[in-house]
Amino acid sequence: MIRYYSKTSIGYSHIRENKVCQDYSCSYHDDERTIVTTCDGHGGKVYFRSHLGSKFASSATMSVLCRFDDSLLDKLCREDVLGKLKLEILCEWNALVERDIAQNPFSDEETSALSEDELFRLKTSPMMAYGTTLHGIMALSGRLYCVSLGDGGMFAIKNGTIEEVFKDSDDDPVANVTYSMCQENAYDHFKAEILDLNGIDGAVICTDGTINPYRNIDNFNRSFVTPIISHLSKGEYLAVDDFMVKLGTEIGIGDDVSLGLIIKDESRNNEV
């Protein structure tokens, strides 16, 4: 039995600046699989369509994972399956971006604030305007498929604690820099993993605006993840919705916030 949840709320800094929400999240569930995504468009003047980039990243991930056939694990090695997932998501995202540019060329209004250097970078790599991070998880056939690019968080949940699915590596960016779907070498930094659902209680994904107010993982788990799971296990989805809105508009750091959860619920006889 599976419970799942996704929610995005605009941050108060974007409300104050009359700026569109840059985050995007979505969820999907059927008899076979459950999928949630959270994506964070970079914002900033050169990333002027990143609110679309995050939506396209979520859509691309959802599309690829929805058609994924887990019998591939019987035909290909694990690394090849993960590589195929990453490549297909990137190709799908690029196709969505290219289509949007073809249908809606960059306007003078969008580019008027850019410097000559920024205009050159944009001309060289139009995908930059759509820069975004990506986190997605899918529960299928007793496994959890995880894909991640950029900052934010992806954690496995087990016995009341959370553990990062992807450990920090020496080449991870620092401070406010993040890897992005718009990079030419995005594939090199795209992470993917397959976990055994029997060994965990679920997983949580979020954008950096959601985790950053909590300073460290232990506080994030104690003050955010544990209460959220408690509400969801009782079916109190509106309480979680209300808190996510408040985190974005009042008590967070002013950034947009997005959350995705897939949790096993052994106390229920029906899937939700």
Phi-psi region of 77 (alpha: psi -120 to 50; beta: other; left: phi over 0): beta
- Check residue 56 and give its pLDDT: 98
Tell me if 15 is assigned to some domain. Answer: yes
- What dihedral angle (degrees, nearest 10) is formed by the CA atoms of 44, 49, 54, 57? -130
Residue 254 has pLDDT above 50, yes or no: yes
Residue 136 main-chain phi, psi, to 5 deg: -145, 145
What is the domain count for the chain? 1
**Helices marked H in the chain:** 12-16, 50-66, 72-75, 78-103, 108-111, 116-124, 186-189, 208-211, 217-220, 226-233, 237-246
- Check residue 1 and give its pLDDT: 80
Question: What mean pLDDT is reported for the chain?
Answer: 93
- Check residue 271 and give its pLDDT: 37
What global pTM score does this model have? Answer: 0.94
- Check residue 113 and give its pLDDT: 93
How far out from the chain centre does Cα 53 lie?
12
Tell me if 270 is assigned to some domain. Answer: no
Among the residue ranges 44-48, 92-96, 263-267, the one predicted with the least confidence is: 263-267
Tell me if 129 is assigned to some domain. Answer: yes
User: Which DSSP state fits 197?
Assistant: G
Percentage of the chain modeled with pLDDT above 70: 94
Q: Which residues constitute the domain of residue 170?
A: 2-264
Tell me if 259 is assigned to some domain. Answer: yes
What are the pLDDT digits (tens) for 49-103?
A: 999 999 999 999 999 999 999 999 999 999 999 999 999 999 999 999 999 999 9
- Check residue 168 and give its pLDDT: 67
**Helices marked H in 20-129:** 50-66, 72-75, 78-103, 108-111, 116-124
Mean pLDDT along residues 112-136: 96
Residue 104 has pLDDT above 60, yes or no: yes
Tell me if 269 is assigned to some domain. Answer: no
Q: What tokens does 113 get?
A: 């604030």
Residue 162 has pLDDT above 90, yes or no: yes
Q: Are 94 and 60 a contacting pair, CB within 8 Å?
A: no
Residue 269 has pLDDT above 50, yes or no: no
Helix (H, G, I), strand (E, B) or coil at 41: strand
What are the pLDDT digits (tens) for 193-234?
A: 999 999 899 999 999 999 999 989 999 999 999 999 999 999
Tell me if 206 is assigned to some domain. Answer: yes
| 153: CATH | 3.60.40.10
How close are the terminal C-alpha atoms of the chain, in Å?
8
Q: Closest Cα to residue 23, out of 244, 261, 250?
A: 244
Tell me if 271 is assigned to some domain. Answer: no
- Check residue 174 and give its pLDDT: 36
Residue 142 has pLDDT above 70, yes or no: yes
Residue partners of 24: CB distance under 8 A and separation at least 6? 8, 37, 38, 39, 41, 51, 54, 55, 57, 58, 258
Residue 24 main-chain phi, psi, to 5 deg: -150, 140
Tell me if 7 is assigned to some domain. Answer: yes
